[in-house]
Amino acid sequence: MSTEDSKPGILQGTLDLMVLRTLATMGPQHGFGLAKRIQQISDGALALNQGTLYPALLRLDQRRWVKSKWGASEAGRRARFYEITAAGRRAMERESEDWARTVALMDRFVRLAPEE
């Protein structure tokens, strides 16, 4: 179900790639910084809450695609900072290639003219 003013959800499997890409581009980030950057890149279409982002970060940490350490945020508060690992970079490249193929395939279907 879709309406013109509805915000898109996150397709399953895309959040990991968004987080990995953001970390690869920006370097180590804390969760709030990641959520803020993803929202910024999506022009406000994706506003991640803690219940969405932190399970993804935990999953990425368990896969050893990111590593984390405690530090101080810009506001001087204690925060956990996440950094992409070499394994995470390899996974990011594989996932990026998979998504490029998926987008190209879906583009073919979207552009098909309906039969009359």
| Number of domain units in the chain | 1
∠ CA 83-89-93, nearest 5°, is 145
CATH code assigned at 84: 1.10.10.10
Q: How confident is the model at residue 50 (pLDDT cuts 50, 70, 90)?
A: confident
With a cut of 90, say whether residue 71 has pLDDT above it: yes
9: in domain? no
Range(s) of the domain holding residue 89: 14-109
Whole-model pTM above 0.85? no
pLDDT of 1 strictly over 50: no
Q: Is residue 27 part of a domain?
A: yes
Quick check: is 60 in a domain?
yes
What is the rounded distance in angstroms from the CA atom of residue 18 to the CA atom of residue 30?
Answer: 14
Euclidean distance between CA atoms 2 and 22, whole angstroms: 28
81 belongs to a structural domain: yes
Residue 1 lies in a domain: no
What is the pLDDT at residue 11? Answer: 62
Give domain status of residue 116, yes or no. no
User: pLDDT per residue over 27-47, tens digit each?
Assistant: 999 999 999 999 999 998 888
Residue 3, CA distances (Å) to 6, 7, 8, 47, 55 in order: 5, 9, 10, 18, 29
